[in-house]
Amino acid sequence: MSVVWVFPGQGSHRRGMGTGVLDRYPDLCARAEEILGYSVEELCGDTRRLRDTRYVQPALYTVDALSYLARREDGGRPDYLAGHSLGEYAALFAAGCFDFETGLRLVRRRGELMGEASGGTMTAVLGMPRERLEELLGGTGVDVANDNSPEQVVIAGPKDAIGAAGKAIQEAGGKCVALNVRTAFHSRYMKDAADAFAGELESVAYGEPQIPVISNVTARPHVAGAMAETLRRQIDSPVRWLDGLRYLIRQGVDELEEIGPGDVLTKLWDVTRKYPVPAAPAAETEPDSAEHASPAVAPAETSVSAQTPVLAETPVLAQRSVPAQTPVPAQRSVPAQAGPASTRTPAVVPASAGSEDLAASLGSHEFREDYGLRHAYLTGSMFKGIASTDLVIRMGKAGLMGFFGAGGLTLPEIEAAIETIRRGLGTGEGFGMNLLYGFDEDGLERDTVELYLRHDVRYVEAAAYPHVTAPLVRYRFTGAHRDASGRPVAVRHVLAKVSRPEVAAAFMRPPPEPVLRRLVAQGALTEEEAEAASALPVSEDVCVEADSAGHTDGRSPYALMPAMVALRDGENARHGYAKPIRVGASGGLGAPEAVAAAFVLGADFVVTGSVNQCSPEAGTSDDVKDMLAGLDVQDTAYAPAGDMFELGARVQVARKGTLFPARANKLYQLYRQHGALAELDDKTARTIQDKYFRRSFAEVWDETAAYLAARKPDELTRAEANPRHKMALVFRWYFVHSIRLALEGAPGRRVDYQVHCGPAMGSFNRYAETIGLSRWQDRHVDVIADRLMSDAAAVLDTRLRGLVRDRS
């Protein structure tokens, strides 16, 4: 099942529109008032001004855009977007092509220019085939303005010419309905307005649509490079709404949901669905551009309905009725080549024919819908910003999603990253942030949650959690509520990465009652939020982390996945969740065969890690990427985790070309054997200082003590009183330093690089050689995602067919 969300234009506006939506977003309404100089809420109650195009367009754009945000918060995700005339701007905002303010400024100027035009009128023509109508209009000075449905076309031109054309149409058996407008919108008579608008349109940096948006001018999906010209032409070109609906039907769309006031577009959809859909024109598979904007000729259709709704760029107020709720969309069908075309390298061997379509069916379609993805695929966070803002933005623009690596960064650094990502994507959609477990719930974890709530971050990857914490529960259930049907809804998503069943079970269950009570008593959750939380799992998406980079238990996915899937099934049955928990897979995913195996084992989605570190977008040094590109499957090792050094937790790191694993394990061995630095023999102490640290223990301690004095004075006091703890902190300095050296690509220090990496990197390197991606400079993260998923689908298709043949 596939769905399009559509946004109405002028003609659907009415007095009182936006009730219940505008007051839901006071900050955006305040921003709109700053830009426009008047209140949109007051404007929506002003019948006089709602007759003026200059006011109608900003008001309707605001209502459409905020209605979209409300619909997204209440659940659901479209596969396609479209908007009729002015509504196209709301659709482009929803797709992340520009932010709310940019769209409002464009619409304000558009309304001013279109409001200045005059001297014409418009008429709806019912019951006449488009090709016959065009014959009658030839040489009359009248243009087709809206091709709305098989039963309705709107024409525009000078009043006298419209009158003469109307007589000819009626004599030929058509019916004409005059529209109460004083301007020939969407016709040649709007050329001056279109040209005047060009400069404003060209000043905007458009992002690639995160969801395909059907253009009024071309009736095919927008692309960023042609967007300014296409929007300019929209003013003086016909609205090819019927051709756009037919394109969507050919793509498999079978549901339409109207977002905003009225139900005019819903009725046009219902009418169009009654008629056969012509075969796709040859140009339909070509990329969208302004050159492909010639209007298509509709086939002959003679049916007429007195109930056919009329929609044009007109200040006539439309009767509003509430459309029925459409089912939740199945998946987001973003074209495979979404993202900047310049990043596609001709050296890359194309995926096998049809495998992209197969890839779009792998995993859970509900997962794709909830996360707004075209594949059930995510890139995981890599700490210290290695999963960088560039990486996350690139994924978002390609119709995918990545989690920013917030671990090890300060709150100001994390906040700056959120702001950068939002600017890069244009909306708050399409990205996630990492949230690390904190030993002190009143420390960094709590403060990070506060930051994420303040910036309305909707997706987090919860990592290294041994149990569910109060800050995590607060994040997950802030904004939780029951919808109109009484179903509990959480507006924030927690993807929990786990490797142990007992931890997974805690995330699959509702939060502990004592934690909820404490949060309510503190004012951190409302009673309503806590009540909804009691009927929802802490995480609807639990990712099973097998042998991976970073913190790992080194477990086999073949053992973990069946156990976790069975656990999930039991918790779903036990709690009767309205939306079942989903299980994902991560760790070791470096080849299509591994991704295919994850889905066979029952994964609803996959999360990749190591392979993305060796990409142009990763936030590490080129020297590290060169090193990673030379690894094979055996070139990793286990080492102590610096942040959990005393506990003996391990990480998996690259060992080829670096001595870090051996040196890190040596430091942990010495920590286990000795109670203080003073107990080390002279030779060992000298080796560590001269070869590992390249500075004295005293210098390392001075640097460490200065850091603790500024941030953790209690721990400094403890270390000065406990020689063994002091030794641990000195040794832990090396772990921080080795990461810093790798991130900087320090010359001559590769032997000390700490690079978190699993065997998936070596597996991917072998695979990359076969598809033209041997150079890491060509391995853009969205390219990696597309190739792994499409080739995994091909592997499954080929091998399953082979099994069937063998058995037969």
Residue percentage of the chain with pLDDT more than 70 = 88
| Whole-number Å distance between alpha carbons of 692 and 700 | 12
| Whole-number Å distance between alpha carbons of 30 and 45 | 17
| Whole-number Å distance between alpha carbons of 117 and 236 | 12
Judged against a pLDDT cut of 80, whether residue 357 lies above it is answered with: no
Q: Looking at domain 3-114+188-292, which of 3.40.50.920, 3.40.366.10, 3.40.228.10, 3.50.50.60 is its CATH number? A: 3.40.366.10
Judged against a pLDDT cut of 70, whether residue 319 lies above it is answered with: no
CB count in 10 Å sphere of residue 334: 26
Q: 314 by DSSP, 3-state: which?
A: coil
Strands 143-149 and 152-157: what pairing? antiparallel
Q: Per residue in 527-560, pLDDT tens?
A: 999 999 999 999 999 999 988 776 667 788 889 9
| Whole-number Å distance between alpha carbons of 243 and 83 | 13
Q: What radius of gyration do the chain's Cα atoms show?
A: 30
Residue from 455, 446, 560 nearest 497 by CA:
560
Per-residue DSSP letter, 350: P
Q: Could you write out the three-class secondary structure of 468-502?
A: CCHHHHHHHHCCCEECCCCCEECCCEEEEEECCHH
Q: Which residues contact 285 (CB under 8 A, 6 or more apart)?
A: none
Predicted local confidence at residue 578, as pLDDT: 86
Q: Which helix (H) or strand (E) holds 518?
A: helix 513-521
* Domain boundary assignment for the chain: 3-114+188-292, 359-617+784-798, 636-754
Question: Is this structure's pTM higher than 0.85?
Answer: no
C-alpha distances in Å from residue 64, one per residue of 21, 72, 88, 585: 10, 12, 10, 38
* Active-site hit among 85, 215, 610, 738: 85
* Active-site hit among 84, 186, 375, 551: 186
| Whole-number Å distance between alpha carbons of 349 and 787 | 10
Phi, psi of 239 (to 5 degrees): -85, 110
Range list of H helices, 722-780:
723-744, 760-770
Judged against a pLDDT cut of 50, whether residue 467 lies above it is answered with: yes
Mark whether 539 is an active-site residue: no
Q: Which residues contact 403 (CB under 8 A, 6 or more apart)?
A: 378, 379, 380, 381, 387, 392, 431, 432, 433, 434, 459, 460, 461, 495
Alpha-carbon dihedral of residues 737, 739, 743, 745, nearest 10 degrees? Answer: 60
Strand partners, 495: 461, 541
Report the amino acid identity of residue 394: R
Strand partners, 85: none
CATH number given to 359-617+784-798: 3.20.20.70
Q: Per residue in 14-50, pLDDT tens?
A: 888 988 899 899 999 999 999 999 999 998 988 888 8
Strand partners, 125: 153, 176
Do 237 and 217 form a contact (C-beta atoms < 8 A)? yes
Residues, the chain: 808
| Whole-number Å distance between alpha carbons of 174 and 43 | 38
Report the amino acid identity of residue 93: F
CB count in 10 Å sphere of residue 501: 15
| Whole-number Å distance between alpha carbons of 515 and 537 | 14
| Range from 87-96, 130-139, 623-632 carrying the lowest mean pLDDT | 130-139
416 alpha-carbon distance from chain centroid: 19
Strand partners, 777: none
Q: Per residue in 613-631, pLDDT tens?
A: 999 999 999 999 999 999 9
Range list of H helices, 12-99:
26-36, 40-43, 53-73, 87-94
Range list of H helices, 527-603:
527-533, 557-575, 592-600
| Range from 15-29, 141-155, 224-238, 427-441 carrying the lowest mean pLDDT | 427-441
Mark whether 186 is an active-site residue: yes
Strands 493-498 and 459-463: what pairing? parallel
> Average pLDDT of 356-368?
81
Strand partners, 582: 541
Q: Per residue in 102-124, pLDDT tens?
A: 999 999 999 999 888 877 899 99
| Whole-number Å distance between alpha carbons of 770 and 347 | 11
Do 228 and 217 form a contact (C-beta atoms < 8 A)? no
Cα-Cα-Cα-Cα dihedral sign, residues 34, 39, 44, 48 = negative
Average pLDDT, the chain: 86
Predicted local confidence at residue 464, as pLDDT: 84
C-alpha distances in Å from residue 769, one per residue of 82, 546, 634: 41, 25, 17
Residue from 754, 695, 710, 704 nearest 730 by CA:
704
Do 668 and 645 form a contact (C-beta atoms < 8 A)? yes
Q: Which helix (H) or strand (E) holds 528?
A: helix 527-533
| Whole-number Å distance between alpha carbons of 291 and 230 | 9
Strand partners, 178: 123
When pLDDT is cut at 50, 70 and 90, the band that residue 466 belongs to is confident
